C-alpha cells in the first residue's frame, strides 16, 4: 500500500499485520481525494478506525493541517506510528489508542474541531450508528464537517438524521462510500 498523491506520493506504508484489518483500496482513497481536493488544504482530519493511517496520511500528503488517528488494535497503532515517522509528520499528527465504543471524549482536547472525518469500521459489525452518535455528541456546535464512511452494501447502514445529512453515495467495486455533511444548528 502506497500514498497515491501529494508530497509523499509513492511512499510505501507499513501494513497492519494479520488479516483483521482491511486497508482502504487505493482507488477508493483516490476517488475520495478527487472529490475533496479543494477542501484538503489546511483541513483538520479525524481518521476513525484508522488501520495503518493511510487516509489521514494521504490527507497530510495533500496539504492537510493536521490529522488525529483513532484505533483500538495495538498492532495498528504500531503501524500508524511507524508511518507517521516515515512520512515525517510527527508535528502534525496525533495517534490515540482508543475504543470508539466508549465514546469520543478523547477528541475534546482538539478544540478547533475537524473539517473532514473518515470512518472505515469493520465491515460486518454494526459500528456506524453508534459512532455517528458519538460524533454528534463530541462535535463542536459551530463546526461544519464532512464525514466519509466506507462500508459494503451489506453493512447495516442507519437512517441518517440531523445534524447529519447524506450528501452523496458512491460504489467502488465491493466498497460503498457514503458522504455525510455535519451541519450544526445555529446558536439563537
pLDDT band at residue 124 under the 50/70/90 scheme: confident
User: What tens digit of pLDDT does each residue of 36-89 get?
Assistant: 988 899 999 999 999 999 999 999 999 999 999 999 999 999 999 999 999 999
Instruction: Return mean pLDDT, the chain.
Output: 88
In a domain, 159, yes or no: yes
Q: Is residue 38 in some structural domain?
A: yes
Average of pLDDT values for 144-151?
A: 91
Alpha-carbon distance of 87 to 40, in angstroms, equals: 17
Alpha helices in 13-105 (DSSP H): 26-35, 37-40, 54-61, 74-87
Would you say residue 1 lies in a domain?
no
pTM of the model: 0.92
Grid cell 466508549 is found at 102
**49/84 Cα distance (integer angstroms):** 16
Number of domains comprising the chain: 1
Amino acid at each position: 500500500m502506497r500514498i497515491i498523491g501529494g508530497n509523499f506520493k509513492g511512499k510505501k506504508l507499513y501494513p497492519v499485520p494479520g488479516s483483521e484489518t482491511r486497508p482502504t483500496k487505493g482507488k477508493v482513497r483516490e476517488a475520495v481525494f478527487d472529490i475533496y481536493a479543494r477542501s484538503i488544504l489546511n483541513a483538520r482530519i479525524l481518521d476513525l478506525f484508522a488501520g495503518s493511517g493511510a487516509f489521514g496520511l494521504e490527507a497530510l500528503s495533500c496539504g492537510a493541517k493536521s490529522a488525529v488517528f483513532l484505533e483500538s488494535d495495538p498492532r495498528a497503532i504500531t503501524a500508524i506510528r511507524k508511518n507517521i515517522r516515515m512520512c515525517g509528520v510527527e508535528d502534525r499528527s496525533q495517534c490515540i489508542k482508543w475504543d470508539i465504543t466508549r465514546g469520543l471524549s478523547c477528541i475534546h482536547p482538539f478544540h478547533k474541531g475537524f473539517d473532514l472525518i473518515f470512518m472505515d469500521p469493520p465491515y460486518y459489525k454494526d459500528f456506524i450508528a453508534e459512532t455517528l452518535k458519538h460524533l454528534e455528541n463530541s462535535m463542536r456546535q459551530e463546526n461544519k464537517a464532512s464525514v466519509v464512511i466506507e462500508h459494503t452494501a451489506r453493512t447495516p447502514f442507519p437512517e441518517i438524521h440531523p445534524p447529519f445529512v447524506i450528501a452523496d453515495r458512491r460504489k467502488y467495486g465491493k466498497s460503498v462510500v457514503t458522504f455525510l455533511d455535519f451541519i450544526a444548528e445555529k446558536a439563537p
